[in-house]
Amino acid sequence: MPPRTTDREAGYFRALAAERLDIALCRASSLVARAAEARAAESGIGVGPHLVLKMLAEAGPSSQRALSDQLRIDRSVMVGICDGLEQAGHVRRERDAGDRRAYAVTVTESGRRLLAAAEDTVPAFLDDTFRDLSPAEREHLSALLAKVLRLPS
């Protein structure tokens, strides 16, 4: 159980967050990441493996480097994620036809089933996590984050 926050501490953070959007965004990101990991633990697949399976299912076979770069997961962490997924039979690694030094990671049918089960939990997670925001506010937040991240609209 987290320590109780006093009114004074809450007031300080409220003022700091208004002054420093970077700190507010980091704090919000941390809260959402912890909630995502807790929910992911319930579904039997961590956030990292979930994202890897999702990218592979949607984008097709990819190198570990491409997965790491696109998902912003440290390369050494990505090796562990791919090792675990491969050991469980959810992905397979094959020599990349375009670069014989590299391996392409491919999602298996088992991985697709695990991904589908994990994806079923996402809407409820999002509703719970962002319950204090109206649908319009969620849409606005999404648009603002896309702008900050310089994503095409």
Q: Which pLDDT score, from 0 to 100, does residue 102 have?
A: 81
What is the C-alpha to C-alpha distance for residues 140 and 87, in angstroms, rounded to an integer?
41
Residue 11 lies in a domain: yes
Residue 150 lies in a domain: no
Domain, as residue range, for 5: 1-43
Residue 124 lies in a domain: no
User: Per-residue pLDDT for the chain (153 aa), expressed as one digit of tens each?
Assistant: 556 667 777 777 778 877 888 888 888 999 999 999 888 888 889 999 999 999 999 999 999 999 999 999 999 999 999 999 999 999 999 987 777 788 899 999 999 999 999 999 889 999 999 999 999 999 999 999 999 888 776
Residue 13 lies in a domain: yes
Number of domains in the chain: 1
Q: Give the phi and the psi of residue 95 in degrees, each rounded to 5.
A: -55, 135
- Calculate the dihedral angle through the C-alpha atoms of 70, 73, 77, 78, rounding to the nearest 10 degrees: -20
Q: Which pLDDT score, from 0 to 100, does residue 18 have?
A: 79
